[in-house]
C-alpha cells in the first residue's frame, strides 16, 4: 500500500470512527438517559399565584391546550417520561423542590402576566 493510499485510508477510518462514536454517544444521551429539556405549560389560578396570560378568545391564537392562564416549567426528558400525562407532570412540578425549573412570569419585559383585579 502506498503512502498516499494509507494516509487516505487512515483519515477515512478516523472520520468514520469519530462519526460512529458521536452517533452512539448522542443516542445514549438522548434516548437512554433522556438528557434533554421539555417545556410544559400547566393550568394556573391567578387568584392564588402569578401566571402567564394569553388571550384565547380567538382559538387560532391559542395552542392546543387552550390555557389562558398558565405556568411554565422545564423538566428533563426522564422526568417527563415518568409522567402519565400533562396533569401528572403538573403535580410533580408544583411540588416545591421538585425536579422542575419554573419560568416565572415577569422575568423578561416581553412576559404578559395575569393581573388580579380587586373590587
**DSSP letter string over the chain?**
--HHHHHHHHHHHHHHHHHHHHHHHHHIIIIIS--SEEEEEEE--TTTS--EE---SSGGGS-TT--SEEEEEEEEHHHHHH-SSHHHHHHHHHSTT-S-EEE-TTSSTT--B------
Number of domains in the chain: 2
What tens digit of pLDDT does each residue of 45-57 get? Answer: 888 888 898 888 8
Give residue 45's domain range. 37-103
Q: Quick one: 99 and 47 in the same domain?
A: yes
Q: Is residue 117 part of a domain?
A: no
% of the chain surpassing 70 pLDDT: 94
Average pLDDT score over residue span 80-97: 77
Average pLDDT score over residue span 26-40: 82
Q: Quick one: 76 and 19 in the same domain?
A: no
pLDDT surpasses 70 at 58: yes
Amino acid at each position: 500500500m502506498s503512502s498516499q493510499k494509507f494516509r487516505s485510508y487512515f483519515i477515512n477510518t478516523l472520520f468514520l470512527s469519530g462519526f460512529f462514536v458521536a452517533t452512539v454517544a448522542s443516542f445514549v444521551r438522548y434516548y437512554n438517559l433522556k438528557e434533554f429539556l421539555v417545556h410544559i405549560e400547566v393550568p394556573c389560578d391567578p387568584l392564588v399565584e402569578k401566571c402567564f396570560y394569553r388571550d384565547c378568545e380567538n382559538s387560532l391564537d391559542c395552542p392546543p391546550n387552550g390555557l389562558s392562564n398558565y405556568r411554565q416549567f422545564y423538566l428533563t426528558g426522564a422526568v417527563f417520561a415518568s409522567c402519565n400525562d400533562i396533569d401528572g407532570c403538573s403535580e410533580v412540578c408544583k411540588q416545591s423542590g421538585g425536579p422542575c425549573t419554573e419560568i416565572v412570569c415577569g422575568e423578561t419585559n416581553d412576559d404578559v402576566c395575569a393581573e388580579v383585579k380587586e373590587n
